[in-house]
């Protein structure tokens, strides 16, 4: 892996992946939107080349890249955020975008395509760990579209002679996290002195710091096996209440609001813990940043950037 193309390069994981690739001496072409303020998330580097592009025009990307690429990361996904499941049709569009990305990767000369799936492909589970072989049963448009995109991407890659890897991202957090995530929104409230509200937080969860997630994606490009599904998490599940307590301690505030929000009547995910066994065996990935350290770094970034208040 020497020359890489990345969509979604200014997202939390995308930016972390760009940094990891540059650190390892790779040449990176990063798709960005015209005049997007998020471009400032990416470093100025001699090996980083910005390529203006959009999900609805991925077929135009190959003509904008002056050299052959070998690995294509498709992280971009339209209509995300807290209301991502409001429209089945808008989520389904991403399936075609993913196939368009596969075609663009082939036209660039890539031999490997790496997508960005989600734990939502599994649906609610009550298992000690969730791994690549766990039954998929999505219950919302986002999860269903991610699952379909991954299946069809692998099929198309086989048709046109490209390797395909489909990681499923569990719960990541850190620098450039979306404001709507539980950790991001709660940290902002804690730093502002506002009251927080949570579920009873009795279930087990798995959080991975953004820098570690970027490194996991990098290692999949270098050492991952064709056709593999990899779960992206820490592999160390803990009771959610423990994570909340560490967040409050880092912000210097008491723990408030646990149990204020009832579990939904339709049921709840009781455990969401990633089995990263094959990821570690194939690529050597082992998380380096503890939750305590990751939260401290996230809080420092928020304070420096005034990302709250």
What CATH number belongs to 3-175+208-233+275-281?
3.40.50.720
Q: What is the pLDDT of residues 3-29, one digit of tens each?
A: 999 999 999 999 999 999 999 999 999
Q: Residues of the chain with pLDDT > 90: what percent?
A: 89
Q: What is the pLDDT of residues 244-262, one digit of tens each?
A: 999 999 999 999 999 999 8
* Rounded distance between C-alpha atoms, residue 11 and residue 17, angstroms: 10
Contact 162, 101 (CB under 8 A): no
Q: What pLDDT, on the 0 to 100 scale, is given for residue 80?
A: 83
- CB-based burial label for 139 (10 Å; 0-12, 13-18, 19+): middle
Q: What is the pLDDT of residues 119-134, one digit of tens each?
A: 999 998 889 999 999 9
What 8-state DSSP symbol labels residue 199? -
Q: What pLDDT, on the 0 to 100 scale, is given for residue 229?
A: 98
Domain residue extents for the chain: 3-175+208-233+275-281
pTM (2 d.p.): 0.95
Q: What pLDDT, on the 0 to 100 scale, is given for residue 309?
A: 55
The mean pLDDT value for 30-55 works out to 96
* Residue 216: its H or E element: helix 210-223
């Amino acid at each position: 892996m020497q020359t890489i193309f990345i969509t979604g390069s200014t997202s939390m994981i995308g930016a972390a992946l760009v940094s990891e690739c540059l650190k390892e001496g790779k040449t990176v072409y990063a798709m960005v939107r015209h005049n997007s303020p998020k471009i400032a998330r990416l470093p100025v580097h001699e090996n980083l080349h910005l390529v203006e592009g959009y999900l609805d025009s991925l077929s135009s990307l190959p003509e904008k890249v002056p050299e052959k690429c070998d690995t294509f990361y498709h992280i971009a996904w339209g209509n995300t955020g807290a209301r991502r499941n409001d429209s089945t049709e808008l989520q389904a569009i991403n399936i075609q975008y993913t196939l368009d990305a596969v075609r663009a990767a082939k036209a660039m000369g890539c031999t490997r395509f790496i997508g960005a799936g989600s734990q939502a492909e599994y649906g609610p589970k009550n298992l000690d760990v969730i791994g690549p072989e766990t039954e998929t049963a999505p219950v919302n448009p986002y999860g269903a579209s991610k699952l379909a995109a991954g299946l069809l991407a692998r099929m198309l890659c086989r048709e046109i002679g490209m390797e395909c890897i489909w990681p499923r991202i569990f719960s990541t957090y850190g620098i450039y996290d979306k404001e709507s995530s539980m950790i991001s929104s709660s940290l902002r409230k804690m730093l502002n002195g506002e009251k927080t509200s949570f579920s009873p937080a009795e279930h087990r969860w798995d959080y991975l710091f953004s820098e570690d997630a970027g490194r996991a994606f990098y290692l999949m490009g270098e050492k991952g096996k064709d056709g593999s599904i990899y779960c992206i998490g820490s592999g160390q599940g803990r009771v959610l209440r423990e994570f909340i307590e560490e967040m409050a301690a880092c912000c210097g505030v008491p723990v408030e609001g646990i149990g204020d929000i009832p579990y939904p009547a339709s049921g709840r995910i009781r455990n969401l813990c990633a089995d990263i066994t094959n990821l570690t065996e194939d690529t050597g990935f082992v998380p380096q940043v503890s939750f305590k350290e990751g939260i401290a770094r996230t809080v420092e970034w928020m304070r420096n950037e005034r990302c709250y208040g």
